């Protein structure tokens, strides 16, 4: 075991060191070589050393350098050193982290990490929380709590009796709601299409003047951080309107909630603490390994009522919180370990610096590309930049070229009818030099196509 793990750590370290110099996207050849994993499963065992050697030699070159400093393709981030190392140690612990009495270390770390998160994200300290795989499942978990609380008030026990025959719930989303919001609603029996869609403004923010009438059977899903523009719905006003009617407000803050930790961005999340539930990712801006999302629910009894499990063989009474009473899963890894490690290693100043720094990098991208004469399509309020290089065809060619060039990796999107390069800066490891090197490469690709037109 010792030799194997030491050898594996050395391979992992070499991999991480290679990210500085290698192309961000894997080569076509490296991807083609993945076929050699696909051998007939042999009868005899293979030595673990040989298994790991194959994984590294064939797998590593075919990865996308998402852990590196110049991947700007999605709003996702890398892994902080302390978070990656904590993940390794927690894997060695191999704790089935559903119940406090059985796995006290991971359960306690989750409870403490939850308190720290509520603190740095400036959410109500009495809120309950669930460590889940990502924002998709955090939506599912928080909205299950919403469904419970709303129907309980009208005398319907949804966990026991299901939705058939229940008073119908109305769901309001913005026209720019993330697709995972709709997916979660579908999984809950609330329907992907059974929603009222509220029109948005030029940045993708829900228009409060266009909110439909609400009742105490309504859930409003607001967004903190549009996946294209980074824009925030006017959450304080939405909460005021919704709460006057007795409705529930859920916030998709997959990356945007973290603005609360950065003094210069905190204005974006003003009033967010008035909502009833929130979903965020730790594998995005907190830079912990996949997968790691968190659901927060102000009324933790509603969360527990929606998720609690009981069975005779499970020791469910304990002095501390049983993680499995708050999550969809029973058997689960202790996701709070890395969250605790990341927050502890950063401290408050490290966290606010991480958010401020990445936002500064995004503004530098926007300024440099605008100064070169290209059109920035969004107000760069956070870490997201949308750039057009001219026509849709030219913009797509510049994006193709930058992906092939490999200096950095940016994706494409269509923003309100305009094709754009989408630049998301989220990784702890991105330096000013990485940003300048990436700007130079993008301008080089763009200039090629400018000359041709
Ligand atoms: C990333 C993202 C999601 C989905 O999160 P997963 O962790 O991939 O499930 C939802 N909403 C927004 C705004 C996002 O950026």
- 400-452 per-position pLDDT tens digit: 999 999 999 999 999 999 999 999 999 999 999 999 999 999 999 999 988 65
Confidence of residue 313 (pLDDT cuts 50, 70, 90): low
* Contact of 79 with 67, CB cutoff 8 Å: yes
Asked whether the predicted pLDDT for residue 167 surpasses 60, the reply is yes
Share of the chain above pLDDT 70, in %: 97
Range of the domain at 31: 2-68
Distance CA 316, CA 75 (A): 38
Pocket residue to mutate for ligand 1, from 73, 134, 139, most atoms within 8 A of Cβ? 134
Answer whether residue 402 is part of any domain: no
Q: Is the pLDDT of residue 143 over 90?
A: yes
Give the residue-averaged pLDDT of 326-337: 96
Q: In terms of pLDDT, which residue wins out, 219 or 311?
A: 219
The pLDDT of 206-221, averaged and rounded, is 98
Residue 315 has pLDDT above 90, yes or no: no
Is 434 part of any domain? no
CB of 109 sitting under 6 A from ligand 1: no
Q: 309, 342, 375 — which closes off a domain?
A: 342
Q: How many domains does the chain have?
A: 2
293 lines ligand 1 (CB under 6 A): yes
Mean pLDDT of 324-333: 95
Tell me whether residue 177 is in a domain: yes
Q: Are 150 and 57 members of one domain?
A: no
In this prediction, residues 5-15 reach a mean pLDDT of: 98
227 lines ligand 1 (CB under 6 A): yes
Question: Is there a domain that residue 430 lies in?
Answer: no
Read off the CATH number of the domain in which 162 is found: 3.40.640.10
Average pLDDT over the chain, rounded to whole? 96
94 and 57 belong to one structural domain: no
**Cα–Cα nearest to 261, from 131, 118, 423:** 118
Average confidence (pLDDT) over 323-329:
95
Q: Is 375 part of any domain?
A: no
Mutate to test the pocket of ligand 1, among 173, 180, 252, 335 (most ligand atoms within 8 A of CB): 180
CB within 8 Å of 379: residues ≥ 6 apart: 203, 229, 231
pLDDT at 228 over 70: yes
pLDDT score for 223? 98
Mean pLDDT of 309-323: 72
Question: Please, which pLDDT band fits residue 309 given cuts at 50, 70 and 90?
Answer: confident
Same domain (yes/no): 36, 61: yes
Output the pLDDT for position 392. Answer: 96
Verify that 104 and 45 share a domain, yes or no: no
Residue 404 has a pLDDT of 95
Structure confidence by residue, pLDDT tens digits, 264-287: 999 999 999 999 999 999 999 999
Tell me which of 294, 322, 342 is where a domain ends.
342
C-beta of residue 453 within 8 angstroms of C-beta of residue 390: yes
178 lines ligand 1 (CB under 6 A): yes
State both tokens at 288: 């912990």
The Å distance, Cα 41 to ligand 1 centre, comes to: 36
Residues 243 and 104 in one domain: yes
Distance, CA 34 to ligand 1 centroid (Å)?
A: 28
33 with 126, same domain? Answer: no
363 occurs within a structural domain: no
Q: pLDDT at position 270, please?
A: 96
pTM here is 0.96
What is the model's pLDDT at position 320? Answer: 80
């Amino acid at each position: 075991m010792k030799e194997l793990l030491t050898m594996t750590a050395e391979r992992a370290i070499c991999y991480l060191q290679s990210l500085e110099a290698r192309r961000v996207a894997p080569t076509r050849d490296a991807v083609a070589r993945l076929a050699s994993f696909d051998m007939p499963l042999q009868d005899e065992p293979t030595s673990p050393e040989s298994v790991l050697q194959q994984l590294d030699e064939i797998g590593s070159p075919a990865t996308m350098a998402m852990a590196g400093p110049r991947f700007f393709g999605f709003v996702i981030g890398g892994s902080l050193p302390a978070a990656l190392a904590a993940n390794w140690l927690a894997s060695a612990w191999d704790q089935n982290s559903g119940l406090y009495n059985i796995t006290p270390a991971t359960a306690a770390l989750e409870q403490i990490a939850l308190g720290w998160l509520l603190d740095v994200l400036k959410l109500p300290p009495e809120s309950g929380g669930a460590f889940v795989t990502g924002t998709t499942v955090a939506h599912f978990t928080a909205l299950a709590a919403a469904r419970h609380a709303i129907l309980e008030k009208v005398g319907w026990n949804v966990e026991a009796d299901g939705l058939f025959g229940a008073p119908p719930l109305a769901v309001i989303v913005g026209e720019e709601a993330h697709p995972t919001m709709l997916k979660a609603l579908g999984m809950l029996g609330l329907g992907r299409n059974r929603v009222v869609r509220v029109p948005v403004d030029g940045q993708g923010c829900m228009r409060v003047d266009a909110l439909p009438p609400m009742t105490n059977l309504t859930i409003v899903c607001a967004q903190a951080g549009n996946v294209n523009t980074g824009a925030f719905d006017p959450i304080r006003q939405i909460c005021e309107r919704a709460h006057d009617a007795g409705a529930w407000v859920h916030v998709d803050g997959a990356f945007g909630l973290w603005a609360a930790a950065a003094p210069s961005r905190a204005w974006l999340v003003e009033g967010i603490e008035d909502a009833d539930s929130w979903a965020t990712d730790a594998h995005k801006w907190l830079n912990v390994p996949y997968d790691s999302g968190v659901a927060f629910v102000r009324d933790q009894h509603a969360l527990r009522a929606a998720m609690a499990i009981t069975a005779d063989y499970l020791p469910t009474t304990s002095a501390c919180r049983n993680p499995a009473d708050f999550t969809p899963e029973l058997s689960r890894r202790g996701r709070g370990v890395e969250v605790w490690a990341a927050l502890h290693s950063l401290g408050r100043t490290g966290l606010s610096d991480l958010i401020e720094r990445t936002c500064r990098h995004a503004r530098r991208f926007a300024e440099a590309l605008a100064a070169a004469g290209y059109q920035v399509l969004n107000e760069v309020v956070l870490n997201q930049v949308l750039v057009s290089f001219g026509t849709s065809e030219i913009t797509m060619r510049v994006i193709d070229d930058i992906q092939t060039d490999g200096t950095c990796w940016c994706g494409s999107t269509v923003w309100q009818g305009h094709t754009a390069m989408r630049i998301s800066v989220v990784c702890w490891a991105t330096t000013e030099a990485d940003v300048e090197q990436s700007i130079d490469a993008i301008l080089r690709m763009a200039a090629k196509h400018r000359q041709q037109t």
